[in-house]
Amino acid sequence: MLAGVGSTFGTTFRLATWGESHGAGIGVVVDGCPPRLALDEADLQRDLDRRRPGQSRLTTQRGEADRAEILSGVFEGRTTGAPIAVLVRNDDARSSAYDHLRDLYRPSHADFTYDAKYGHRDWRGGGRSSARETIGRVAAGAIARRLLAEVAGIEVLAWVSRVHEVGSTVDVATVSLDDVEAHPTRCPDPVAAEAMAEAIEDARRDGDSLGGIVTCVARGVPAGLGAPVFDRLEADLAKGMLSLPAAKGFDVGSGFDAVSMTGLAHNDAFVPGPDGPRTATNRSGGVQGGISTGDDVAFRVAFKPTATIASAQDTVTVDNEATTLEAKGRHDPCVLPRAVPMVEAMALVVLADHWLRQRAVDVLPD
């Protein structure tokens, strides 16, 4: 992973996002997408529609269509190898709704830290720290999705596995996109999904908010992707996931549960497989030593409850004086349903990057 000054992610397949919540628009430049990939705006829109606000009663009512325009890098329906620039104009930017945020710091938002770092911030709707920034990631993820499907047969699927106290039962091996999309919570366990939806509605009614967990699986990942040492597949995934707004934790395979197991119980025994060794279990989460085993890559991301809540909260002004924040504006009482395409996007980008990087390794015969 190569970054530098903060808004770039990836090495060989790389994205650079830009834009603020209430500026002219949001965008991304994807550099490194191989040429000759069939791609059009509809490919991007499918994932953007899963991310956009106003999809269901569970999400914020900000009414953005989030229409993506591809400005470069695609010619006659196929990529050219040149950077792909994507622009989404901000339509529904009622920045006056945020006037009261000019002079105070919202708790557990980035208002104060941006001021501490930069000394000048776009306070309208969170500016650069708004989750609208993830539009660029989701667009880039959609390109990676096309690429991985086409050249590698890799697919990535995420879902909401927990909201607050409501867990779920999902068969990681068989769950499908249709299962996930069947309910606005994006939890593929229908009973749990209903309970989650209720909990979210309750929280909204109480002027409160809820967190939860997104689980993600990548299927069809061949053995050998990733890198030793710093650019381990799980390390790059961890960075990608912790770079998402509201993310507080990441674990892969057995993850934090590994702590309660012993080595004998935890180790994944190898067994002879038809195409080479495979593991009888997958507590490794599809990675050993930073490199994929050929099994499903599986990980979880913990998200905190939305920081924006309708209830009044104590806080301070930019002049360090105590005040009270009465939230206005529209917001999600639970970010989980919309976090699903974001998690997928970052996973897709990491996998596309490592898939392309592997090409420089497979050079000399065995």
List the interface residues with a copy of itself, window 39-78 (CB under 8 A): 69-73, 75, 78
Among positions 284-303, residues that touch a copy of itself (CB under 8 A) are 284-285, 287-294, 302-303
- The type of residue at 210 is L
Among positions 15-44, residues that touch a copy of itself (CB under 8 A) are 16-20, 23-27, 29, 31-32, 34-37
Find the binder of a copy of itself among 79, 168, 185, 215 (CB under 8 A). 79
Find the binder of a copy of itself among 61, 91, 311, 326 (CB under 8 A). 311
What is the pairing mode between strands 104-105 and 313-317? antiparallel
Among positions 233-262, residues that touch a copy of itself (CB under 8 A) are 234-243, 245, 247-256, 258-262
Q: What own/partner pairs with CB < 8 Å and gap ≥ 24 does 119-124 have?
A: 122/20, 122/21, 122/22, 122/23, 123/98, 124/20, 124/21, 124/22, 124/93, 124/95, 124/98
Distances (CA, A) of 349 to 141, 154, 156, 234: 6, 12, 10, 13
**Is the CB of 126 or the CB of 176 nearer to a copy of itself?**
126
Asked if residue 165 binds a copy of itself (CB under 8 A), the reply is yes
Rounded Cα gap, residues 283 and 115, in angstroms: 43
| 190, 166 contact by CB (below 8 A) | no
**Is the CB of 176 or the CB of 198 nearer to a copy of itself?**
198
Residues 134-153, one symbol each (x = binds a copy of itself by CB under 8 A, - = not), give ----------------xx--
Cβ atoms within 10 Å of 197's Cβ, excluding its own: 21
- Choices 47-55, 178-186, 229-237, 337-345 (CB under 8 A): range interacting with a copy of itself: 229-237
Shortest distance, position 248 Cβ to a copy of itself, whole Å: 5
Rounded Cα gap, residues 68 and 27, in angstroms: 9
| 295, 283 contact by CB (below 8 A) | no
Asked if residue 220 binds a copy of itself (CB under 8 A), the reply is no
Residues 177-216, one symbol each (x = binds a copy of itself by CB under 8 A, - = not), give --------------------------x--xxxxxxxx---
Asked if residue 99 binds a copy of itself (CB under 8 A), the reply is no
